[in-house]
């Protein structure tokens, strides 16, 4: 039995039956990291001592015969924009290279409450800005299925770690697709929860009306196990919501109605990707799901809306890295203004600067109405499209990405071509909906993900739909 | 699908935006951003196709209620205070120290 291939529920059974210890499980992952991560570079830092200590603690709970929770003793990797007290947290930026987290993010507190084993912090595009993990201020990560290709981004480190068996599960964050797209590129499951479903306290902010934390796992069942632990209201995040009691999410598969938006299958989609997605949808139809074509007419405007609103919010959120309170500071200049200018100049990478410039432009006097306000209005339209369609159908099937994992360096010089990869994922963030990225096939050795979009707070339903596919494959 | 804009934003405009953002840029970056921002902003003009004269803006995906608490300070754990201040490049007597403003 290869321990690093086990899902959360399989590993839990093994721990409970004492077939192996959490210490052994943790060792197996650490060895896998040592063997593979020199090439993949998914981790920015591996916390071997901490992990083994946590594993020992989990083992003592198991030895006492306590009724252990599902995540007890299970090794996890965390995206390096999520704070763990006492550990460095860099957001893959030089500006936070020496920043140590003074407290735990709420999601980390909840995972620690379940006695998980924290293996380390994973790589990302700097401040989660990008779709390839090439924008990391430290190192690019590579796709475990083909080392010449990107793992997607921005949670590329987390997705690559789970795909390569270097973590049993991981957490990522998703502002415009940053959990779903790397999950799709790496052939693992990624859940972007409903806006407000998971507390962002202790997540380094990118665009606050869009950011959500979510799980990256091997199966849809595992994603549910992790989501159930991290979800729920938190008084430290006033945008987090009390999870509404939704009546009976159980359903018969033959009563399920799923829409396929025609605007997601227009020119620009790789024909082989479309083929895999169509085949997956057909499999659901064979299971009895009623599939119908629907229309989301504002789809083509979602990308420009997103690339105005996200950089605008980012330009405000990143103003705090001014060299005064924390992070990198260059005080060689003569006055306060020099510290601001120089600390940001030397601390931020090119993509972060580009987005700060774009956002500041869209918010500046004379352009606010034409760009920012206009984008906010079209955002309303994008949301209305979903509301209307999701009254008729329970969920939507779409591709996660129009393209296969691309080569390192292929898009990095042309920012617009990189932004276009997000075309199927950003709408979901604008509308605040939950969405699952589910591996449903391959083109050659490269994985393809199906996106399942649900109604607000109906994560339970889209995860259940995902589980049906896991069962037949 | 994309083309270089005929209405390039000026170098001065790029410098002005950078100053608003308190972001230092090299001459090379200013030149690069002049081109890139122009073509990205040109792409955004796509939104002009949408009639939004009767549409309200969305700042937040869902309507949320304000979260309020009594206007009473909470005592900060001195350990956390120390950890937070310990991140600052310069402090004095428990305060952040900065260079002269004027």
The per-residue pLDDT for range A355-374, each reduced to its tens digit, is 999 999 999 999 999 999 99
Residue given tokens 């992990």 in the structure block: A51
Output the pLDDT for position A66.
Answer: 74
Output the pLDDT for position B1.
Answer: 38
Q: Which of B47, B82, B84, B100 to mutate to test binding with chain A, by most A CBs within 10 Å of its CB?
A: B47
Residue A144 in this model has a pLDDT that exceeds 60? yes
Q: B100–A336: do the CB atoms touch at under 8 Å?
A: yes
Question: For this structure, is A79 an active site residue?
Answer: yes
Residues A429 and A193 sit within 8 Å (Cβ to Cβ): no
Which residues in chain B have their CB less than 8 angstroms from residue A313's CB?
none
Give the domain ranges of chain B: 1-49
Residue B90 tokens read as 């310069």
Residue B5 in this model has a pLDDT that exceeds 70? no
Confidence of residue A136 (pLDDT cuts 50, 70, 90): very high
Question: Distances from the Cα of A48 to the Cαs of A27, A154, A377, B6, in angstroms?
Answer: 9, 24, 49, 55
Question: Distances from the Cα of A281 to the Cαs of A449, A453, B28, in angstroms?
Answer: 12, 14, 49
Q: Which fold has domain B1-49?
A: Histone, subunit A (1.10.20)
Which residues in chain B have their CB less than 8 angstroms from residue A371's CB?
41, 44
Radius of gyration of chain B (CA): 23
Residues A176 and A99 sit within 8 Å (Cβ to Cβ): no
Which residues in chain B have their CB less than 8 angstroms from residue A241's CB?
62, 64
Model confidence over B11-41: pLDDT tens digits? 999 999 999 999 999 999 999 999 999 999 9
A333 Cβ partners below 8 Å, 6+ apart? A339, A341, A342
Q: Which of A21, A22, A136, A154 is catalytic?
A: A154
Model confidence over A166-210: pLDDT tens digits? 999 999 999 999 999 999 999 999 999 999 999 999 999 999 999
Nearest CB to B87: which of A325, A342, A433? Answer: A325
Radius of gyration of chain A (CA): 21
Burial class of residue A418 in the structure, from the number of CB atoms within 10 Å of its CB (0-12 exposed, 13-18 middle, 19+ buried):
buried
Q: Which of A132, A158, A178, A199 is catalytic?
A: A178
**ipTM value:** 0.92
Coil, helix or strand at residue A454: strand
Nearest CB to A364: which of B17, B80, B98? Answer: B17
Burial class of residue B77 in the structure, from the number of CB atoms within 10 Å of its CB (0-12 exposed, 13-18 middle, 19+ buried):
exposed
A48 Cβ partners below 8 Å, 6+ apart? A30
A24-35 burial, b at 16+ Cβ within 10 Å, e below that, comes to: ebbbbbbebbee
Give the domain ranges of chain A: 1-473
Model confidence over A67-121: pLDDT tens digits? 899 999 999 999 999 999 999 999 999 999 999 999 999 999 999 999 999 999 9
In order, the DSSP letters of A240-262 are: --PPP--S-----GGG-EEEEEG
Q: How far apart are CA A405 and CA A185, in angstroms?
A: 5
Model confidence over A379-436: pLDDT tens digits? 999 999 999 999 999 999 999 999 999 999 999 999 988 999 999 999 999 999 999 9
pTM above 0.80, yes or no: yes
Output the pLDDT for position A248.
Answer: 64
Q: What's the CATH number for A1-473?
A: 3.90.1300.10
Classify strands A75-79 and A169-174 as parallel, antiparallel or unpaired: parallel
Nearest CB to A336: which of B50, B56, B99? Answer: B99
């Amino acid at each position: 039995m290869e321990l690093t291939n086990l899902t959360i529920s399989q590993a839990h059974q093994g721990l409970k039956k004492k077939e192996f210890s959490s210490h052994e499980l943790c060792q197996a992952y650490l060895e896998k990291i040592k063997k593979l991560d020199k090439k993949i570079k998914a981790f920015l830092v591996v916390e071997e001592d901490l992990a083994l200590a946590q594993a020992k603690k989990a083992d003592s709970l198991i030895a006492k015969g306590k009724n252990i929770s599902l995540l007890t003793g299970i090794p996890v990797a965390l995206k390096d924009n999520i704070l763990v007290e006492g550990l460095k947290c860099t957001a893959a930026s030089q500006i936070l290279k020496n920043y140590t987290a003074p407290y735990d993010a709420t999601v980390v507190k909840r995972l620690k409450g379940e006695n998980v084993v924290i293996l380390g912090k994973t790589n990302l595009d700097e401040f989660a800005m990008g779709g390839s993990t090439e924008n990391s201020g430290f190192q690019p990560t590579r796709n475990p299925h083909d080392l010449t290709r990107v793992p997607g981004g921005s949670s590329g480190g987390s997705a690559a770690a789970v795909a390569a068996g270097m973590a049993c599960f991981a957490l990522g964050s998703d502002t415009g697709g940053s959990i779903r797209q790397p999950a799709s590129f790496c052939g693992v499951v990624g859940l972007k929860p409903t806006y407000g479903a998971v507390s962002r306290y202790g997540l380094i902010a990118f665009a606050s009306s869009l950011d959500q934390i979510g799980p990256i796992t091997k199966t849809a069942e595992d994603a549910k196990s992790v989501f159930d632990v991290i979800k729920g209201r938190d008084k430290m995040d006033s945008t987090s919501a009390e999870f509404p009691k939704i009546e009976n999410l159980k359903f018969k598969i033959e009563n399920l109605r799923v829409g396929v938006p025609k605007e997601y299958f227009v020119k620009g989609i790789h024909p082989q990707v479309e083929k895999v997605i169509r085949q997956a949808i057909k499999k659901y139809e064979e299971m009895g799901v009623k599939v119908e074509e629907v229309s989301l007419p504002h789809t083509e405007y979602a990308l420009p809306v997103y690339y105005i609103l996200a950089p605008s919010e980012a330009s405000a959120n990143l103003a705090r890295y001014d060299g005064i309170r924390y992070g990198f500071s260059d005080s060689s200049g003569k006055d306060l203004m020099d510290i601001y200018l120089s600390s940001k100049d030397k601390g931020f990478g090119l993509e972060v600067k580009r987005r700060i410039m774009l956002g500041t432009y869209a918010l500046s006097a004379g352009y606010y109405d034409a760009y920012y306000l206009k984008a906010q209005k079209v955002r309303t339209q994008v949301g209305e499209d979903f509301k209307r369609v999701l009254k008729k159908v329970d969920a939507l099937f779409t591709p996660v990405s129009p393209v296969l994992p691309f080569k390192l360096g292929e898009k990095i010089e042309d920012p617009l071509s990189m932004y276009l990869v997000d075309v199927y994922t950003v709408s979901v963030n604008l509308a605040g909906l939950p969405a699952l990225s589910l591996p449903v096939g391959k083109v050659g050795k490269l994985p393809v993900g199906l996106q399942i979009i649900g109604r607000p707070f109906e994560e339970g339903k889209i995860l259940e739909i995902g589980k049906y596919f896991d069962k037949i494959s | 699908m994309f083309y270089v804009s005929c209405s390039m934003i000026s170098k001065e405009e790029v410098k002005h935006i950078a100053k608003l953002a308190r972001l230092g840029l090299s001459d090379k970056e200013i030149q690069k951003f002049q081109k890139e921002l122009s073509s990205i902003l040109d792409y955004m003009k796509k939104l002009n196709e949408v009639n939004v004269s009767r549409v309200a803006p969305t700042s937040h995906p869902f309507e949320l209620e304000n979260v309020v608490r009594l206007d009473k300070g909470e005592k900060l754990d001195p350990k956390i205070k120390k950890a937070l201040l310990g991140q600052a490049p310069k402090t004095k007597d428990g305060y952040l120290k900065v260079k002269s403003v004027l």
